[in-house]
Amino acid sequence: MAEKFDPITFEIFKNAIFSIADEMALTIFRTTYSCVLKDNMDYSTGLADAGGKLVAQGLTLPAHLGSVPTALASIMRHFGDDMAPGDVFIMNDPFDGGMHLPDIFIFKPLYHDGKRLAFACTCCHHCDVGGRVAGSNASDYTEIYAEGLRIAPMKLYESGTINKTIMTFIEKNVRVPVQVFGDLRAQLAACHIAEKQFAEAVTKYGGARTKSLMNEVLDHAERLTRAALAELPDGQWSFEDFIDDDGIDYGRPIRLFVTLRKTGSAMQVDWTGTSPQVKGAINSTLSFTKAASYCAVRSVLPQAIPSNEGVFRAIEVICPPGTIGNAVLPAACAARGLTGFRMVDCMFGALAMMLPDRVTAAGDGGNTGISIGGYDPERKPFIYVDFTCGAWGARPWADGLDGNSHMFANMASQSIEVTEAELPIRLLSYEFVADKAGAGKFRGGVPFQRDYQFLEHEGVLQVRSDRRDHRPFGLYGGSPGGPSENYLNPDADGRLLPSKLTMTIRRGDVFRHVLAGGGGFGDPLERDPEAVLRDVRNQLLSPAKAEADYGVIIDTASWKIDAAATRVRRDRIRVARDWDRPPKVQRHDPALLDRAAE
């Protein structure tokens, strides 16, 4: 006889297991060592059922959590029922369930009365896993074997006993083992917290009831997702965008192409037509491509839908093997984050045709990855790993967000004070940059720049950025955002650097990175002049740019808008714009076609 559904019990249980995932995230936050975790918060936590299905995710990165099902599937494939209480699994292999080598997964099966009921799941970006470049995240690797320590799915603990051989291999292959081991212990602590709190839930509900309720949480999310998809229009929409290059073949654009097919209560995301995999390390795994696709679709669904694998059941993701979105051996993928972030924006382009009133223009291109590594005079290694982003594309109802992380990352900026106290780096500037936000009825997010001064004798700088040649797109009349920029010693010779680089730097060198601006939404001439004035007064827009892009004339002596001059200027811009447009041709009239050709 089927068990009677109790909505109150279900809701209490659902909130309880999501709270466990959140508590795991807080545990890592409180106990981790490296800045990329304790400040950037580049990690994720979750709780899966006995079969490896993600039931609850913490308030962390969609980029990681959409990839957990693939990683856990690999653990299940390798070990099946070769699991016991006290076992803990570790892995990072991009070609066997992982994403890229710095992202190390730790999974702990949770038991009750000898039966496996769940998995505690963590994924952390470690500051170094070896390889040619400190930080293990450079764009100019050309094969996986140069990137660092590749960990196949294996047992880190067996029946509560640690595998010292694995730990020794890790220790001898990373530059900062104290930080790496500290971060691994933070992951293990989070799994321990999950085990303790999950045991309390099982004691309350019983093993069979807990298993049933976890299944119901997944089914509930699927039902809500399918119901929400059913309300969206059916059809097919395609969009293409381009990554500037892979850091090896400069000036050779890399195509991203996606087709969305929505029928009834299901959606298909098809990346067929995307570029073949490339030499540089920006190749993505299928799991990361799936995560990007889920994140974008999830952004147009109701917020109340629980984030778990039930959502993924309604969204099919296709990406042919051997492409930049589903790379195969020996592809380099250390910098795959760039491609994943850009895939989210590409998805927005397609979704904007489907739902023009609900989707943002392109943001700054995801996050820029910057690492600086070297040795002090006593040959003690140091590594700085930072991911920075902060300019959203304009929304159909409001400006793009300024200084806010990309939704695929949900990451924070590192503390300047902590960075300067712990590393030979001084932050000379961290400020918004004027005239880079894409113009529109609603402007794009304003980007910022950071100046990093190096204080040690010598080090290696690695930068992963993009959106220089192919700027963040605007939507429905909005202008693209301004391009990203990299400079060495900007206040001296001001050497312009490529968007992706690995180079030696020396004491006193200053590296400046300027994010790309977010794309605009709608006709800039429809923007409220008062909003333009506000941006000028806040030094986010220059008076000259206000006139050129928006046709708004501002008297900077009185800080008032010249309304009459503004009307005249906007009329002139409209006339000039109309003259630049090609004539409208009636395709069924051959005479008009001939005249247009002349």
Concatenating the DSSP letter of every residue in 400-415 gives PPBS---TTT---PPP
CB atoms within 10 A of CB 403: 16
Q: What's the CA gap between 45 and 415, in Å, rounded? A: 23
- 560-575 pLDDT tens trace: 999 999 999 999 999 9
Q: Compute the average pLDDT of residues 154-182.
A: 97
Q: Is it the case that residue 581 has pLDDT exceeding 80? A: no
Nearest 5°: the CA angle 308, 309, 315 is 115
DSSP 181-209: HHHHHHHHHHHHHHHHHHHHHHHHH-HHH
How far from 332 is each of 90, 91, 336, 370, 495, CA to CA, in Å?
A: 21, 17, 8, 18, 28
Nearest 5°: the CA angle 36, 130, 68 is 55
CB atoms within 10 A of CB 207: 15
Q: What's the CA gap between 102 and 383, in Å, rounded? A: 13
Q: Which helix (H) or strand (E) holds 20?
A: helix 7-31
Q: What's the CA gap between 532 and 536, in Å, rounded? A: 6
**Measured torsion, CA atoms of residues 408, 410, 413, 414, in degrees rounded to the nearest 10:** -100
Q: Which helix (H) or strand (E) holds 117?
A: strand 115-125
Q: What count of Cα atoms within 13 Å lies in the side-chain half-sphere of residue 446?
A: 14
Q: What's the CA gap between 405 and 418, in Å, rounded? A: 20
DSSP 417-460: HHHHHHSSEEEEEEEE-TT-SPPSSBPPPPPEEEEEEE-SSEEE
Q: What is the DSSP letter of 575?
A: H
Take residue 424 and report the two structure tokens written for it. 């030979």
pLDDT score of 596 = 33
Residue at token pair 């892979």: 246
Take residue 15 and report the two structure tokens written for it. 């909130």
- 273-319 pLDDT tens trace: 999 999 999 999 999 999 999 999 999 999 999 999 999 999 999 99
Q: How confident is the model at residue 41 (pLDDT cuts 50, 70, 90)?
A: confident
**Closest to 332 (Cα-Cα) out of 216, 449, 248:** 248
Q: How many residues are given for the chain?
A: 598
Q: Which of 49-53, 223-227, 247-251, 260-264 has the lowest mean pLDDT?
A: 247-251
**Left (φ > 0), alpha (ψ -120 to 50) or beta: where does 447 sit?**
beta
| CB burial of residue 116 (10 Å; 0-12, 13-18, 19+) | middle
Better pLDDT: 66 or 99: 99
8 A C-beta contact, residue 294 and residue 315: yes
- Neighbouring-strand partners of residue 554: 561
Take residue 175 and report the two structure tokens written for it. 């530059």
8 A C-beta contact, residue 159 and residue 84: yes
Q: Is it the case that residue 374 has pLDDT exceeding 70? A: yes
Q: What's the CA gap between 392 and 394, in Å, rounded? A: 6
Nearest 5°: the CA angle 535, 537, 541 is 45
Q: Is it the case that residue 597 has pLDDT exceeding 60? A: no
Q: Is it the case that residue 4 has pLDDT exceeding 80? A: no
8 A C-beta contact, residue 439 and residue 524: yes
Q: Please give the radius of gyration of the chain, using alpha carbons only, rounded to the nearest integer.
A: 25
pLDDT score of 580 = 67
Share of the chain residues as helix, strand and coil, in percent rounded to the nearest 5: 35, 25, 45
How far from 378 is each of 457, 461, 508, 509, CA to CA, in Å?
A: 12, 20, 20, 21
Q: What's the CA gap between 31 and 39, in Å, rounded? A: 12
Q: What's the CA gap between 318 and 272, in Å, rounded? A: 7
Q: Compute the average pLDDT of residues 74-96.
A: 96
- 512-570 pLDDT tens trace: 999 999 999 999 999 999 999 999 999 999 999 999 999 999 999 999 999 999 999 99
| CB burial of residue 464 (10 Å; 0-12, 13-18, 19+) | buried
Residue 273 three-state SS: coil
- Neighbouring-strand partners of residue 236: 261
8 A C-beta contact, residue 104 and residue 92: yes
Q: Compute the average pLDDT of residues 327-334.
A: 96
pLDDT score of 582 = 57
Q: What is the pTM of this model?
A: 0.92
Burial 166-183 (b: 16+ CB within 10 A, else e): eeeebeebbbbbebbbbb
**Closest to 7 (Cα-Cα) out of 118, 204, 18, 15:** 15
Q: What's the CA gap between 443 and 435, in Å, rounded? A: 11
Q: Which helix (H) or strand (E) holds 501?
A: strand 500-506
CB atoms within 10 A of CB 371: 25
Peptide bond into 330 cis (omega under 30): yes
First to last CA, the chain: 79
Highest mean pLDDT among 212-216, 387-391, 579-583: 212-216
Take residue 212 and report the two structure tokens written for it. 């049933």
Q: What's the CA gap between 519 and 531, in Å, rounded? A: 17
